Amino acid sequence: MKTFNYHTPKDVKEASKLASSSSAFLAGGMTSVPSMKLGLATYKDIIDIKHIKKLSGIKVSGKSVTIGATTKHVDVATSKEVKKAIPSLAKLAGGIGDAQVRNRGTVGGSIANNDPSACYPSACMALNAIIHTNNRKIEASKFFKGMFETALKKGELIEAVEFQIPEKSNYQKHPNPASRYAIVGVYLAKHKKEVNVAVTGAKSSVYIDKDLSKKLSSSFSSSAIDGIELDSSEMNSDIHASGEFRASLVLTYAKKAVEAC
């Protein structure tokens, strides 16, 4: 691994000041450290934000669950408050990677990286999340820009993610057996006025399947999406699953998610 300077700022202002075009914020490091070791990413400065206290913690209000950027997956998975407010979100966190990864990995890191197979982006999209940064609030639908790309600007730091509490929700995932990343993951959320079906793993970035969402918004039952054929032309195709198989998985897991609600 190439050498870098390691920084431990005490607050967000200091962290932001340290940022440059050749720096990265470090939270759990479950992706960034292996990426640096493999030479896929090199930085001059690594800015460890774990010591900034205000970035960690879970707050539940009547309408939303707000999770601090450096809150670990294990803390979301085992939180009584999250389990009560949005059980599917706790389930999602408890299914990421493995126990050791969940002891280190964070929600902020997951969405800032925007891996096309990561679980959390689908929760953000389905639960109409608002991403709070040190400068602004960004709606999830405008945050995820493409494969490993987000709306974050240089020096902009995610402080927390605010998830809207739905009436019902469920997350279904077909995991890669080694990494537990989603080959396909479907996060379904039924809100008062609409149903969101967010899909991860299937395309170059997380997306809302508009067709499935529309059909389920007018009739919330798995039979409402029976026989739908999803276009597989833009779906990922690799040694784990072909595009056609992924399309089939999206529909199967959307149905499973409806039935589990």
Q: Which residues bind another protein (CB under 8 A)?
A: 1-6, 26, 29-30, 33-34, 36-38, 46, 48, 50, 97-101, 103-104, 178-180
The CA distance from 74 to 72, in Å, is 5
CA distances 100 to 32, 88, 108, Å, are: 16, 21, 17
Name the minimum Å distance from CB 218 to another protein: 38
Tokens of 112: 């800032």
The CA distance from 232 to 183, in Å, is 14
CB-nearer residue toward another protein: 104 or 168 = 104
CB-nearer residue toward another protein: 3 or 218 = 3
CB-nearer residue toward another protein: 103 or 134 = 103
Name the minimum Å distance from CB 50 to another protein: 7
Cβ contacts of 235 within 8 Å, gap of 6 or more:
202, 203, 243, 244, 246, 247
Name the minimum Å distance from CB 84 to another protein: 20
Name the minimum Å distance from CB 99 to another protein: 5
CB-nearer residue toward another protein: 29 or 166 = 29
Give the β-pairing of 45-48 and 58-60: unpaired
